[in-house]
Amino acid sequence: MENTRGALLAGARAARLALAALLAACALALAAMLPQVAWAEDGVARIGETEYATLQSALNQAQEGDTITLLSNVVLGSDSGDSEREASKPDIRKSIMLDLNTKKISGAGYLKVSSGNVSIKNGTVATSAASSTETYGVYVSGGAVTIDNCAISTAEGGDAVYLQDYTTANITNSRIAAPTSGTALWFAWNGSGVASLGAGNVITGPVKFAGNFMSSYMVNIEGGSFDNGETMPFATNNDESVIKERLNLTGGYFKVDVSGFVADGYTCRVSDTDAPTNFDYQVASSTEPFTSYYTVNADNQKTYYDTWENVITAAKAASAVAYTTAEVTIADPASLSGVSVSTLRNGKLVYSGALANLLSGGVVLDDAEVSCSDASVTSAKTAGGKLSSGVVAEGGYDAAGALLADGKLIYGDQTAGEIVPEESCAAKIGSVGYFFLTSAVNAASSNDGAAAQIKDTIVMLKDWDQPIAVQQEHASFTLDMSNHSITASSDYAVKLLASNIDITVKNGVVAGQSAGISSNGMYRNINLELENLTVSGTATDGAALYLAAGGITTATGGAYTGATGIQLCGGSLIVDDVKVTATGQDESAVKTGDGIIPDGAAISVVEREGYADLGIVEIKNGTFTAVDGVDAVKTYAWSSNTASEWAQAGDVVEISGGTFSTEVPEEYCAEGFNPQKNADGTYGVHKHEIVKHDAVASTCVAAGNAAYYECSVCGKLFEDEAGESEIAKETVTIAATGKHSFAEAWRPGATSHWHECSVCGAKADEAEHEFVEVIDKEATATEPGSKHQECKVCGYAKGSEVIPATGSGSGEGNGDNPAGGNTGGNGNTGDNGNGGAGDTTTDKPAKLSALAKTGDAVPATALAAAGVAAAAAIACGFAAFRKGRKSE
């Protein structure tokens, strides 16, 4: 059994070995049938299906007629041949085509052609110097080369294409550029050779011809554009006649006139409309038709005309653009109404009148050069009758500026001003815009001098983050910041570094390190007006304003903030309705040298040795704040880096308004003004409001006063109406006399009498009444009498009393019988003794009359009784009336 299993395993192993051998044989046979391929990890060039690691290795393997195609950019730099690094000078010695395949050959070397018929196309050769003596892009030392659709250049001082010895070259549709001091094309033949340049080439830089008269080479230029700036594009190291002998020039566009080099039967003339921009000259056949006038319609079709009048008529009829390459004189602007006109090459519209008249005639400029009596405009375009683009000659800024379309400015940073969008400028003066704010400041200053100062207005159009310095003497302008800012990361934001200048700055933010705005102590007569500004100096020893030159600075509105607020060391200062905040401590003790003295005051006035004289400091209104412990307004003299008392400070500083964080010294107050402390703990000044107080005599108990004047604001007293001579209150007070004026007559009271002071009511000789009885009416038998008590000293009388009648019927009757008289049963009530219930109705008027005679008021009880009796009578009458009515 095991023998059988072993035999089976052995057979299986044999079968597998046989199959492996068969597969290996098949693979070898298949490999023999396939072409050999040398695959590289990173192929640089390819011939057919084979890739090569370097260009030089591909050149080495190439056969006649092969095409080498670049697969990647090539960086030249080694002479190691077929190695991992590319050779510095790949050398072509076979008739092949090198397809650069849009790739680039660069590096420290050049591409060399030594022999064969070689074609190079579709890519870039831009090399650097191989050595100090060999600097080329393409170097041809033999054979024939065709270059098509390539861009070729090399390093400084080199030759982009160098042709030597007996070579032939044909260059088409290529861009060949020379470095600054090099050569685009260098025909260095010693013998015969031919080079042809076709119409599609763009040659930048000089084309150089060898000066060997023994050679017989020829250069044919049939077209292309040649740009060597304003210099002749053809050059030689010998006589210019070499060029004429070797050059067959029959076409091309040039920036300069090359008439001296054209072939027979050809001419150099003003370029036609197909020329590249700014190539003003064209070489063409002398017999080729040429016209200066044509139209281009909406389908981009050109139609040529022999006269300007014909082209204008055609342009109107076809709504086409009229072109001219010649100078045209416009007699009547209305003749161009509705026509879009362009000029090319030497074309120009010339009008003897003003530019405004030409545009008002209805012409539509579309890249046209225009010359008028007041302005010249190149490449001008219009929109709605207004200039929208172009270049304006400097002399025509005013005329052209009045005709600008909305949002357009004339760029004034150069001699000739381009018409540009306003948003591209930092500032403008009228219709002239400036890319740099400093340029606008210089322009506004340049027209000022000792004879006259023209105060231009600069309007800022965007924020500016660099310092501004005014350095021209007699500069005069207004800088309207239009809510923009000037900031400087160091030093001062606005510096005034000249004498005799007059500047207004308003409506913006000025922020510097040392100071927002400053003037230098070596200058004089700087007049500075600041309106509605936010100004700051952010350094710990900085100031918002540092004013060291002579002149007058006026600050109205706005806010000023710095470690020191405003420091004046020369000239005069006027501030009104400003907020000045000082944030620093007094560090003047450690200050040395020139510049800001960090004293922490909101207003710092320093009489400084060697600086301009100080004038007047007027503080009219505003808020002036320093930190605790530092005076809001500080004055002192400064000499040899030391502060000292300044006796004349009171003659310089005049404060007539404002709110201050510290008390205002009286000597700083303007004439007629005085310090005051406000209710909120701040300080200020006020002008006296004078009120006159007339003289008042003193009395026995009240003090009087002499005439005087008082300020209703601060309460100070003065002896004069002008408020100049202050007096103490004690000097006008008259003490009370202490002497009463008692009346001779007695003054009675309820229980006593006295002599009374007619001034204060004081009492003297007061004593109780001495009453005696006084009969007012004697009683009779039928009628009662009356009497009263009266003081025999002062005549004070008590109320009247009734004396009963003396007759016999005095006790009869009762209260219900009126005819019965007095009942006598109740007696008197109170002091008066009246009010007995037995009084009859007829007696009551008499009693009341008797009471009235006593001189006292009618007693309340008597009035009450009379009121009750009257009410009872009315009630009885009303009841009788109702009863009668009811009985009816």
For residues 791-807, average pLDDT? 91
Asked whether the beta carbons of 259 and 267 are under 8 A apart, the reply is: yes
Asked whether the beta carbons of 328 and 310 are under 8 A apart, the reply is: no
For residue 627, give Cα distances in angstroms to 208, 407, 595.
78, 48, 22
Judged by DSSP in three states, 699 sits in: coil
pLDDT of residue 689: 80
Confidence class for position 416, pLDDT limits 50, 70, 90: confident
Residues, the chain = 888
- Across 273-412, the runs of DSSP E, i.e. the strands, are 281-285, 293-296, 302-305, 321-324, 327-330, 340-343, 348-351, 364-371, 376-383, 386-392, 408-411
The residues that bridge with 748 in the sheet, in sequence order, are: 753
For residues 283-307, average pLDDT? 84
Nearest to 605 by CA among 630, 577, 569, 640: 569
- Strands 543-547 and 564-568 come out as parallel
Phi, psi of 521 (to 5 degrees): -70, -10
For residues 298-303, average pLDDT? 87
What's the pLDDT tens digit per position in 592-646?
888 899 999 999 999 998 888 899 999 999 999 999 999 999 999 998 889 999 9
More confident site: 71 or 7? 71
- H-state helical runs in 319-451: 355-360, 397-401, 437-446
- Residue 516: is its pLDDT beyond 70? yes
Confidence class for position 214, pLDDT limits 50, 70, 90: low
Report the 10 Å Cβ neighbour count for 223: 17
- Residue 232: is its pLDDT beyond 60? yes
- Residue 842: is its pLDDT beyond 60? no
- Token pair in block for residue 129: 């110097």
List the single range of 338-342, 344-348, 385-389, 644-648 with lowest mean pLDDT: 344-348
Location of structure tokens 């009240």:
702
List the single range of 157-166, 397-406, 518-527, 866-875 with lowest mean pLDDT: 866-875
The residues that bridge with 558 in the sheet, in sequence order, are: 533
The residues that bridge with 691 in the sheet, in sequence order, are: 710
Confidence class for position 730, pLDDT limits 50, 70, 90: confident
Phi, psi of 139 (to 5 degrees): -115, 120
What's the pLDDT tens digit per position in 248-279?
999 999 999 998 999 998 988 877 767 787 88
What's the pLDDT tens digit per position in 535-563?
999 999 999 999 999 899 999 999 999 99
The number of CA neighbours under 13 Å toward the Cβ of 8 is 5
- Residue 813: is its pLDDT beyond 50? no
- Residue 85: is its pLDDT beyond 90? no
- Strands 704-705 and 733-734 come out as antiparallel
Q: How far apart are CA 290 and CA 301, in angstroms?
A: 17
- Span between the terminal Cα atoms of the chain, in Å: 171
List the single range of 139-148, 267-276, 305-314, 344-353 with lowest mean pLDDT: 267-276
pLDDT of residue 345: 74
- Across 521-629, the runs of DSSP E, i.e. the strands, are 526-537, 543-547, 552-562, 564-568, 571-576, 578-582, 603-608, 614-619, 622-625
Which of the given ranges, 49-58, 82-91, 214-223, has the highest pLDDT on average?
A: 49-58
Nearest to 481 by CA among 555, 532, 556: 532
For residues 321-349, average pLDDT? 91
List the single range of 471-475, 673-677, 761-765, 884-888 with lowest mean pLDDT: 884-888
| Exposure string over 835-857, b if 16+ CB within 10 A, otherwise e | bbebbeeebeeebbebbeebeee
pLDDT of residue 725: 85
Confidence class for position 485, pLDDT limits 50, 70, 90: very high
Q: Report pTM.
A: 0.57
* Average predicted confidence (pLDDT) for the chain: 84
Location of structure tokens 């590289």:
40
- Residue 422: is its pLDDT beyond 50? yes
Asked whether the beta carbons of 635 and 576 are under 8 A apart, the reply is: no
- Residue 36: is its pLDDT beyond 50? no
Q: Which residues contact 41 (CB under 8 A, 6 or more apart)?
A: 53
Type of residue at 109:
G
pLDDT of residue 409: 95
- Residue 199: is its pLDDT beyond 90? no
